[in-house]
Amino acid sequence: MDLDFNKDQLQIVVARYSENLEWLNEFNCFATVYNKGETTVEGAVVLPNIGREGHTYLTHLVRNYHDLPEYTVFLQGSPFFHMEGGADCAKLTETIQECMTKKVPFKGFAWFRLRCDRLGRPHQMADPASKGKWSGWGKDIPVGDVYDKLFNRTPPQQFIASAATGLFIVRKDRILTRSLEFYKKALSIIEADPYDEYNTGHAFERLWQIIFNGSKAINP
């Protein structure tokens, strides 16, 4: 199944570190790859290895704010692990096609949703298998604090994250509801914690659905 759209309608942004991108061959005409790994990728935009995928996504939005297609898909370099069982390129294509045909404003692609408090709890940040993989291992996730910095208002007691794995599609008007200055501010918040020592990048994974919810009332 091929995507029945053009580049003015769709762009796929991929945040890569070391993942094999052979799966992306089917989407090449729509794809922009940002590479943070030591291995090179032909045609990719090179970024410093900081800020997790949130840094990649926000960098893309800041650089392309005035030249966005109708829909942007944001993906990690190996997206299928967190999608519904059996997910592959065909399933991803089908999901994107359906979202665009039905004019869906925002959709997370993970097979699950997360409900958490202001500290990202419950979470698995102290999973022994992940020890040493990043500086913030074992710490809580500052979801409430990052929300406060982004929107200048008291955070809710609970959050429901529908794009917790950083895999989602968003419509242009939802992106543009927030100002360019908002995305620059969000990027600066991530850049202030470049190696995720305080789990700022993980906090953004729990806030994408709010960032793109279309509400002007909390747009600073």
Tell me the C-alpha to C-alpha distance, in Å, between residue 69 and each of 8, 64, 192, 199.
Answer: 5, 10, 29, 31
Q: Assess if residue 220 is contained within a domain.
A: no
Residue 159, both tokens: 């959050």
H-state helical runs in 65-171: 89-101, 143-151
> How confident is the model at residue 4, as a pLDDT?
85
Q: Assess if residue 3 is contained within a domain.
A: no
Phi and psi for 33 in degrees, rounded to 5? -100, 130
Burial of 119 (0-12, 13-18, 19+ CB in 10 A): middle
Q: Assess if residue 2 is contained within a domain.
A: no
Give the model's confidence band at 28: pLDDT under 50 very low, under 70 low, under 90 confident, else very high: confident
Q: Assess if residue 51 is contained within a domain.
A: yes
Give the model's confidence band at 218: pLDDT under 50 very low, under 70 low, under 90 confident, else very high: low
> How confident is the model at residue 197, as a pLDDT?
97
pLDDT in tens, 88-146: 999 999 999 999 999 999 999 998 999 999 999 999 999 999 998 899 999 999 999 99
Domain that residue 62 falls in: 10-211
Residue 71, both tokens: 């829909």
> How confident is the model at residue 85, as a pLDDT?
72
Q: Assess if residue 40 is contained within a domain.
A: yes
Q: Assess if residue 101 is contained within a domain.
A: yes
- Percent of the chain scoring above 70 in pLDDT: 98
Please state the domain count of the chain: 1
| pTM of this structure | 0.96
Give yes or no for a cis peptide into 122 (omega within 30° of 0).
Answer: yes
Q: Assess if residue 154 is contained within a domain.
A: yes
Instruction: Enumerate the β-bridge partners of residue 171.
Output: 71
Are 210 and 114 in contact by the 8 Å Cβ rule? The answer is no
Give the model's confidence band at 219: pLDDT under 50 very low, under 70 low, under 90 confident, else very high: low
pLDDT in tens, 51-94: 999 999 999 999 999 999 999 999 999 999 888 777 899 999 99
- Specify the DSSP element, H or E, that contains 52: helix 52-64
In this predicted structure, the answer to whether residue 184 has a pLDDT above a threshold of 60 is yes
CA count, 13 A, side-chain hemisphere, 88: 4
Q: Assess if residue 27 is contained within a domain.
A: yes
Instruction: Enumerate the β-bridge partners of residue 34.
Output: 15, 45
Torsion of Cα atoms, 175 then 179 then 183 then 185, to 10°: -160
H-state helical runs in 125-179: 143-151, 172-176
43: left (phi over 0), alpha (psi -120 to 50) or beta: left
Q: What is the DSSP letter of 154?
A: P
Tell me the C-alpha to C-alpha distance, in Å, between residue 8 and each of 11, 34, 35, 71, 202.
Answer: 8, 20, 23, 9, 31
In this predicted structure, the answer to whether residue 212 has a pLDDT above a threshold of 70 is yes
Instruction: Enumerate the β-bridge partners of residue 169.
Output: 73, 107
